[in-house]
Structure formats: C-alpha cells, structure tokens
Chains A and B, each alone.
Chain A
Amino acid sequence: MAALQEKKTCSQRMEEFQRYCWNPDTGQMLGRTLSRWVWISLYYVAFYVVMTGLFALCLYVLMQTVDPYTPDYQDQLRSPGVTLRPDVYGEKGLEIVYNVSDNRTWADLTHTLHTFLAGYSPAAQEDSINCTSDQYFFQERFLAPNHTKFSCKFTADMLQNCSGLVDPDFGFEEGKPCFIIKMNRIVKFLPSNGSAPRVDCAFLDQPHELGQPLQVVYYPPNGTFSLHYFPYYGKKAQPHYSNPLVAAKLLNVPRNTQVAIVCKVMAEHVTFDNPHDPYEGKVEFKLKIVK
C-alpha cells in the first residue's frame, strides 16, 4: 500500500491547500464556486431563520402559559432560606472577625448594615401600609393601586437598638454586635399555623465550653416575624414588599475566640434540618471578636 503512505512534502501540501483556497481552473474557493457559496449560504440563512423563528415561537408559547403572578411549581422552595447581615464570607460560609478597639475593622460591617437598612427607611417604605394585626394578611383581590396588592410596612426603627438610628455602630464598638436576620421570600408561603415565626440564636456546639448559653436580645421583641407580612404574593402583585427582619444583639460573645453561632427560624413550616442546604431555615456564622 505504498501509494497510500505516499509522503507529501510541505511545499506540496501548501500548494494543495492554496489550490483548495482558490482554484483558478474551476473558479472554486474553498471547494465551491462563488455562486455555489451564495446558494449554500442562502440555504443556511433560510434554515436558521426558520429554526430560530420556530424556537422563538416555542418560547413565546411558553411565556404565554406561565402565570405572571405565581410560579407554576415551587419544588425547590418548600422552606425558605435564611440570610444574615452583615454578610462576610470566609473559606467556608459566613465568617465575621473584628477588633473592638480598631474601628477600621468594623467600619465595613456597620456600613453594610446601614446600606441594607436604607431600603427600610420610612421614605422607601412609603408605598406600603401600616399593619397591626398579628394574623396572616390574605388578599384575594387586587385592591391596591395599579392592580396590585398591599404590602405591610417594615421600617428600620422597628429594630430599635439595632436600627442604626440609636446606635450607628450597631453595638460593634462595645462588643455586643447586632446581626440582622432575613427570611427569604417565597410566593404564597405560610410559615406556620398561627403563631408567628421566631428567630432563635445560640452557640452551635452547646453546651459551650464557656458554660454560659448565648444571651441575645431580639428586635422586634421576641424576635418574631409578624404574620401580617405573609403570605407574599410575588413581585408583580406586591411591588413594594419588603422582607420583615429580626435583629439579634449578642451580649456575651467571648473575646479572642472564634465561636460558631446558629440562628434558626422557629416555625412549623420552616425546616432547618436539610443536610445539603446550610441556609435552609437557619443561618450559621462564625464570629470572633478581638480585644
């Protein structure tokens, strides 16, 4: 089979390639004449236009079938996630370290809180209504302006000592920092059967070697999310909705050691034992206050 293994020299190959690029005898470029190229391009353009059109049509139909107010399925959102502010992440999850005596170390942390709470200023909450009931705020119909539903106000001052209004340092300076806990929104989610969900923070590995349980002051009092913030009807129905918050002021965090703290949301329909999801129904963070 000598003929097959015929070795071509480099120049021969180049020449062949050149001839492939432009063949003067047949007027072919890259194996096709110009008119052939036009034809084949036209075919492909047409083909892809049709295919894209079909795909766009499919997507259009899909969009038409999707309900604008509520998602069709909430398979993944059985139980809400819980997040913490300030949110500084280390190698593994939330890790907050600061030096009481060096305000540069916590300036960022308090700044984060201030920015976060800016969304809860009375001005930002202007379009929401005041709610006082401690029952679920069901709204069947769109009674709010612009065919929407009402949202309840949650203003920063409800967090009292942790609102940043009274103490702009959020207790960081005195070593009793405030952390704000937020529960994720889920459309039409009801956290419990009547009692308000409550945040409960504690050392992760109780009994702690220091012997003392974590002392926490919650704002609003008892660390509850009032039921009138639920259910959430979605962005389109409640454009002004803001998540209710709970602030936890940690009073007896030991100095110079890293402690792990978990804040759980205690409610019947909120689970916090999913082994795969560390943020479902609870938030864990490590805290080290240096003095």
Chain B
Amino acid sequence: MRQKRSEIYSVELSGTEDIVRTDQGDDKEKYRGLKNNCLERKKKNHEEEFQKELQLDDHKLSNTELEKKYGTNIITGLSSTRAAELLARDGPNSLTPPKQTPEIVKFLKQMVGGFSILLWVGAFLCWIAYGIQYSSDKSASLNNVYLGSVLVLVVILTGVFAYYQEAKSTNIMSSFNKMIPQQALVIRDSEKKTIPAEQLVVGDIVEVKGGDQIPADIRVLSSQGCRVDNSSLTGESEPQPRSSEFTHENPLETKNICFYSTTCLEGTVTGMVINTGDRTIIGHIASLASGVGNEKTPIAIEIEHFVHIVAGVAVSIGILFFIIAVSLKYRVLDSVIFLIGIIVANVPEGLLGTVTVTLSLTAKRMAKKNCLVKNLEAVETLGSTSIICSDKTGTLTQNRMTVAHLWFDNQIFVADTSEDHSNQVFDQSSSTWASLSKIITLCNRAEFKPGQENVPIMKKAVIGDASETALLKFSEVILGDVMEIRKRNRKVVEIPFNSTNKFQLSIHETDDPHDKRFLLVMKGAPERILQKCSTIMINGEEHPLDKSTAKTFHTAYMELGGLGERVLGFCHLYLPADEFPETYSFDIDTMNFPTSNLCFVGLLSMIDPPRSTVPDAVTKCRSAGIKVIMVTGDHPITAKAIAKSVGIISANSETVEDIAHRLNIPVEQVNQRDAKAAVVTGMELKDMSSEQLDEILANYQEIVFARTSPQQKLIIVEGCQRQDAVVAVTGDGVNDSPALKKADIGIAMGIAGSDAAKNAADMVLLDDNFASIVTGVEEGRLIFDNLKKTIAYTLTKNIAELCPFLIYIIAGLPLPIGTITILFIDLGTDIIPSIALAYEKAESDIMNRKPRHKKKDRLVNKQLAVYSYLHIGLMQALGAFLVYFTVYAQEGFLPHTLINLRVEWENDNVNDLEDHYGQEWTRYQREYLEWTGYTAFFVGILVQQIADLIIRKTRRNSIFQQGLFRNKVIWVGIASQIIIGLILSYGLGSVTALSFTMLRAQYWFVAVPHAILIWVYDEVRKLFIRLYPGSWWDKNMYY
C-alpha cells in the first residue's frame, strides 16, 4: 500500500508532463485533449514552479545541508533583516485569494444572460422601429420608445434583484470567512518571537505545538510525539506521525515534512520553513481550482434553448406576416414596422423577472433547510443531478474518530456511533468490561477543555489526539465523570505513546482503599499488546493465553481491521503489593516494573463513523435515480467500509475482489460483469485510459474511488460528465476545490469546509449534512417542473396578445389591444400568478423518478410550445376577441363593419366616420372606443389567464387530484390579477395616457365561458394522458 501511494502522488506533482505524454500517444482522446489545453496554458505560467517542485528534495537533505540551502541557522534562526529581504522577495506567506470578479462585472453579468439578450434585442428593435416611423412621420406615436425603455428597465431591475440576491448569500458566506489571524512561533535573531504567520519566510525556524495549524510547508528538524491531521490535504482521517527522519522518497509520504494548513494534533515539532504561500503544496492545489473554468448551469442551457424557441417562433411569424403585409400592398416600411412589432410582441417581458424571483424563492426555501445557494441558477442544478461524487471525510462521515466496536469475552460488541452516542446497548454486565473500561479511562491523556459544563459531551472540545478523544468521550458517556474517576485512581507514572514503543502505559493507585496494589494499564497496537500478555481475561477471570484464544483474538482483530477500523488492544496488570509497596518509586527510563506477562483484556476499534443521516439520504438518492460515487483520499479498506455502512455499496453487492475472495480464485478469473460494485484506487486510476474509466463509470452501479489525488478527482468528474451526467461534487477540503469547481454543481460543507472549497462551490451546506442534498435535489426537481408550468402559463397569453396585431394587419380591424395594455398584462397582472406556480406541490413523488436527461428532457419542449401557442393560446385569443367584438358591437360597430376599417379609423382627418347605425364619430370618440376595446381585450385575456393559471397547476393529474385550494398562493395570484385589473380599469380609467377606460361590468363575464372551455379542454387532455400513457396523445400533448 505504501508503495502505491507514492506513485499516485507523483502523478499529481508531475501531473502536467505525465498527462501531456499520455495524450500525445492517443490523439483520439478528445476530452483529455481539451483538458490539456487548459493545463498546457497553465503549464507555461507555472513551468518554473513545477520544475522547482519536482526537485523538492528537502526531505532528503541533512540539517546542515538545509542550513546551507536556505542560508539559515537552526539554533539562531534567520536574522530580522534577512527575513525582511526574503519577505520582500517572496511575498507574504498566504494563499492568493481566488481572483474576485469585480462587483461591477458581476452586476453587469446579470444583465447579459440568455434571457436578457432577448429583451435587449427587443428593446433595440423597438427603438429602430420608432426611428423608421419618425423618419417618415414626425408625429409618430412614442409607444415603441416606451416599450423599448420598459424592456430595458425590466432587464436592469431583474439584474439588480438577482445581483442583490446573490450578494446576500455571498454575505452569509463571508461571515464564515472571518478567521483569527494565525500566529507562528519563530526563532529569529536567536530569540523566540510570535509573529503573524503571514510574515514567515523560507528558512525560518518555527515551533508548532499540538492544536496549532502548520503555518507553512516545513521540514521537521525535531519532534516530540508529533502527529498531524492531513485530512484537509489527503482526506485521511487518521493522524499521521511526524518526525525528523527521512522515510520516503516522495515528499508527500515522508514523515519529515509537514504541510501548510494541516493541523498538528499533539506533540510539538520544530521545523524549517521550506515553502511559503502559493508555493506550498496546498497553494498548488488551490491554483488547480482557478485553472478550471466555470460551467454553464443546466438551467442556463435550458433557458438558452427556450430563448432559441421563442426567437425562432418570433422571427418566423414575423417574416411570414411581413410577406403577407407586402402582398397586401402595405408600404415596405410599414411592413418592416409590423415585422418588428411582431418580433417584439413575442418577447415574454415578464418571464425574466418571474424566473429570477422563482429561483430566489427556492433558494430562500433551501437556505432555510441549510442549503445556501451562491449562484441562483444552481438552485435547479441539483434537481437534474444524476451523479453525486461525494468526498468521504467530513461529508459522509462525522470527521471524528469514534469507538465503533469492542471485543472482549471472545465476543464483538457494537457501539453506538451516532452523533450523540446516546444509545450504548452492548452488554456492560461482564466484569471484563469493568476492567476494560478502567483501562480506557485511565490509560488516556486526553482531557476536556475547562468551562464546558453545559456543552453536550459529544460536542465538548478536547485536548488530545483523535483516538484518545474518542476513547475519552466514549468512557465519559458510559461511565460518567471521567476526570473524577481519574482523580480517584491517581496516576503515578506514565509513558506516552510513541512510534517505537507502539504502546502507552500508565500506573495508577486504585480507588479501592483496601487494595494497596498499583494498577498498570496499557494500550497500543493489538499485536504488540498481545505479545506482552500471557493471560487473557474472560468473564472477569484470567485464563492463560493459549493458541486457541490467540486465534480468536486474531480473527476478531482481522475482522475489525477489515471494517476499515483502527484497532487498539488493552491490557492491565495488578502489581503485587509486596514487590511494589506504596512507597515504590517508578522510573520510566529504567522501566523498573514489568511490561510483559500482562493480562489481555480486550480490543476496541474506532472509525470515523458515517453521519447518521447519510444512509437514509443515500437510499433516497438511489431511489431518485442518482448514482452516489465516493471519491476519497483515504485508504480503500476504510473507504469501502464506510461506503458499505452508508449504502454507497449496498449490502448484497460485491466487488471483483470480494468475489475472488469468496470463490477463492485469483482476481483475474472473476467475471467482471458479476460484480456490481467497484473500489478503484488512485493507483489503478493512474494507469487507466479515459475509455477504461468511462467503462467503469458506466458498468458499475456502485463505485468507490480511494486514495485519489485532487487531480484525479478532476478526471473522475470529467469522466462522469462524459456520460452526459450532471455531476454534483461534495467536499470540504482544499483538495476538493478543483473538483468542486469542475462539477456542474459543487457543494461545500459550511462548518468543516475550507474557504477554498466554499469559494469554488456553488452551494454550501450550512449544517454539513449530506441529507440536505436530498432536500436540494427535491427542491431542484420541483422548481424545474414548476418553471415549466410558469413558462407555459406565460407563453400562452403571448399568442392572445399577438393575434390582435396579426388580425389588425390582415383584416384591418381597429387595433384590438395596445402595446401599453400588453405591458400591463405581462408586467402587471400576470407576474404574481406566474410566481405563484412556484409554490405548486409536486404532482407525484418526484424523488422516485430518474433524473432528467439533460439533452432530452428539456425545460421547454416542442409539446409545451405547441400546446401553449396553438391550443390554449388560440382559444384565449378567440375568447378575448369575443369580448372585443361585443364591446364594439354594443357601441354601434358590428363585427362586419370593422373589417378593413383600419385606415379610415386611424385617420385623424376623418371626424364623421359612420358606424352600423349611421351615427357619425369623431376621431377622439373612436379613439376612446378603441381604448375601451383594449380594456375589453385585456379583461378577456385576464379572465382566461385565471383559467390558464388553474390548468397549469398540473401537467398530468387532474386539478381535483391536485387540490384546487392546496396552493393558497395561486389564489393570492388570482386575487391580485383581478384587483390589478379593476384598478387599471376603474381607478386609472381616466388617465388617458394609459389607454384604459372604465369598462361596463358585464364585459368581465363575456370570456368566462371560454375560460371554462379552456379548463374543460385541459382536463380532457390530462384525462387521456392518464388513461393512455405512451399513446399518440400522450406523446403529443404532454409537456
């Protein structure tokens, strides 16, 4: 294993060259080639640094060579002046923050998205149309100018809103970023000084003690029991020992280098700074992330597709009617105006705002459930996600060692590993347990930090390393006040754990006042402990340790080890009172006490356990058709164990290795197809071509990638994306940030996550809970469905607004509805109802269907457009025309008199135009009637939009199945529609500029039968869809 690891990391370090080489050999690998372009570009920038890093050999050098290389002195440190020079040369020891997009650019970006482009084009067309009109007639109506300005205003307002929304979530983010400036203890000018870590330079001698962060990449000069937590770099949750010996060729594997941003858990270490700032390993990984481009979100692609459809429809209708207009002998210039008018009329002005508001409503709802969305569009992305590449440590697991199993009395007991440990059910009656618990309690140096009386045990901060912490909390939960027990069993002497002994030992007085014996307790690596024992305790009685008991021990040890758990052995010995009287002075240097022939008590295994909510969440993802892949830097055994316990590898599926083991045959002979699961290590991944990776990703349902480097995480994400999957990546460490960025949606952990990860991510889980992702998926899918409804609702009336203009051109009726009136529908009455659709509940269990195919299941498909435009839209237009004709007829202009009336009607110089009854009308009287017609048409659309709103509640189910009143917001929307309509007609009816008039009350009801017809027609449509799934009807009518 060790051997393998080194090679993986060498890939990372010499990554560029390696991949370039593979690529030259295989030009067909298009995608790798693409990636390499970016890498190559990067290579040029960083070539020097990479070269330097490849030559990183500081771990091989002796102390004197190091001193020479960095011009420093191990005892006295750098001089202040030299340090200042170096600081000036290398810059401060901090990671360059990712390039912040200037706020103004972010702001402007909000206004040039796919949708906004449509509106911009519309606005410019309007102004061009006005220009044309103005050039031929100085008194041309300003309507087009207003319309253009309103379009621009809509873009700007929506942009401001979206910018504000995203800025708000960025603010929540930045509150996380407030970090206490890190301090470092450095030797300079022969003095120990505390300086801000930023000022460290190469060659500085620093001292780091347990609990501190490593302030830079340092070469260890001396250490005392130092162990570091490299999980943020590699994903390993186990503490790694650090000492000054050179143990491995690879700088990442050798024990004598500590890395920037990792934490020293215990012990102390003195070291020389060998790299600072961006030149550190972590700095390189962070820069990998900035080299990865941001991808378009699926919803952005969908909206673009939608814009294409709308633009296509607009331009084709426009050109069609341009031709018709020209052949009807309209002047070409007028026809151009018509063309522009038609194109602009197709622009759904309100939709941009509606979509933005809808997305931000969902974002808000998700934030309440602890999913903070940084980028509004990412709200939907989770819904389309088909693969989740999850990091293990901290995301799936709790990122703390916890006691998982115990073995005593020849039996394995399971401990509760849930977040609060509340439910320890194993048998605690055996007296072996009494002895074992005593050892666990006493042979432990970890302590609770003071002043946390009211904090739940599992949340208390502890001084000590991860496994001791686990043991401390475990015993505190079961036995109660550990500190009190330790006080009663005063510690006489102890030998702390070190890597040579591989055990920890302490001698205590007992709490039994009659028992004057000392108690020697020891824990350590199980095989090591077993060697020191001659007896074993079973049911409280000591039995000699014979071969068979040793065998059971080994079986248990292997079983626990096979679960990926870290196993510790425990033994004790009551020192005979005659040999070791109360006054006996123990000496740890001479070891004047027995350390062999002890009594073996039990084994205890620890693991970083999965979060209790994860297995359920993984199951939910499964049933939602989402593949969950684990990608971790940790060991394959641990990774597999965790994967099994959370269900990423389900209980009954086997890997190739499992099958080989079961059948007792070599791995090569196993039929690959028999295995459902696969555990792939970074080492194996390194040798794979992208085809092979694709094959693995496609063939195995359950995949675990272990011991992967950040670079490989990227390759995996790209591999998934090649399968046309929408990939979500979760992670917390710096090492995850490149993959987070590459993913379609990067999800960072809010509490445990590093800043780099949060910066690269699109979404932050505020509670670090993987289960929140499921919520996100649900919300994302719902919003996709509901956006469909919103768009269908909005598109429908477009036809009803466009038809009048077409009829006006062809049949020469007085214009049935004016531009401003249309704006009042699009941006007035229809806004709240279309947002209300976002509150619609799901029609069926959206978590039980497959994620949408990003190239097949479009947001706006042909069926949606056709049904909205050609079915409901047309019905609506007819209904509205009926109201219009009714108003004109009752005022004296019967429908047939209106045909081809346009020219005379609009002529300012005709002031005695005759109607059907022979009455004569002045221009203003006609104009006022025209406005009444606008209002009537408006009311007609409004009434039918209410029906449209109700039918859009569902796409498949009947309204009665969905419940007419379940979504209260819909009714708020309908009320708003009616109230705005009433205000426009009766409140502002006297403002001539708005061209609304007070409409007689009965005209509000003329379109009601049409509205009912729309409802009935749609119910019939849904009924047939439900009755004949997959039929011709279903294919053509379901959107």
Contact = CB atoms under 8 A, between A and B. Distances in A.
A142 to B, nearest CB: 16
B960 interface: no
Interface stretch (B699-707, B779-787, B824-832, B888-896): B888-896
A55 interface: yes
Contacts of A49: none
A238 B924 CA distance: 26
A58 interface: yes
A153 to B, nearest CB: 17
Contact of B890 (A36, A59, A66, A182): A66
Interface stretch (B324-332, B730-738, B913-921): B913-921
Nearest to A36: B1032
Contact of A63 (B31, B882, B889, B1036): B889
A76 B925 contact: yes
A36 B917 CA distance: 51
A120 interface: no
A77 B925 contact: yes
Contacts of B612: none
A234 B921 CA distance: 14
A80 B914 CA distance: 12
A20 interface: no
Contact of B718 (A2, A55, A187): A2
Contacts of A235: 914, 916-918
A3 B721 CA distance: 7
Given A1-B296, A72-B891, A47 B871 contact: yes
Nearest to A189: B919
A149 interface: no
Contacts of A279: 911, 922-924
A209 interface: no
Contacts of B30: 2
Contacts of B718: 2
Contacts of B923: 277, 279
Interface residues of A, number: 50
Contacts of B886: 62
A71 B890 contact: yes
Interface string B853-888: 010000000000000001100110010011001100
A186 interface: yes
Nearest to A234: B917
Interface stretch (A81-89, A132-140, A169-177, A250-258): A81-89
Contacts of B914: 235
Contact of B31 (A2, A75, A243): A2
A238 B922 CA distance: 21
A8 interface: no
A278 B924 CA distance: 8
B136 interface: no
A28 interface: no
Interface string A255-290: 000000000000000000010111110000000000
Contacts of B365: none
Contact of A81 (B891, B921, B929): B921
A44 B869 CA distance: 13
Interface string A232-249: 101110100101000000
Interface in A33-71: 36, 39-40, 44, 47-48, 51, 54-55, 58-59, 62-63, 66, 69-71
B528 interface: no
Given A1-B721, A2-B31, A83-B911, A280 B916 contact: no
Contacts of A74: 891-892, 919
A4 B917 contact: no
A70 B744 contact: no
B906 interface: no
A274 B922 CA distance: 12
Contact of A184 (B34, B871, B921): B921
B917 A62 contact: no
Contacts of A51: 874-875, 878
Given A2-B34, A66-B889, A279-B924, A77 B919 contact: yes
Nearest to A186: B919
Interface of B: 30-31, 34-35, 295-296, 301, 718, 721-722, 724, 744, 854, 870-871, 874-875, 878, 881-882, 885-886, 889-892, 894-895, 908-909, 911-912, 914-926, 928-929, 932, 992, 1000, 1013, 1032, 1036
27 contacts: A2-B30, A2-B35, A3-B721, A3-B722, A4-B296, A36-B1032, A54-B878, A58-B882, A71-B916, A72-B890, A73-B891, A73-B1000, A77-B892, A81-B912, A81-B920, A81-B921, A83-B912, A182-B912, A184-B921, A185-B919, A187-B917, A187-B919, A235-B916, A241-B918, A276-B992, A277-B924, A279-B923
4 closest A-B pairs by CB = A235-B918, A81-B922, A184-B920, A277-B924
Given A62-B895, A71-B890, A182-B912, 5 more contacts: A66-B890, A76-B932, A77-B892, A89-B909, A277-B922
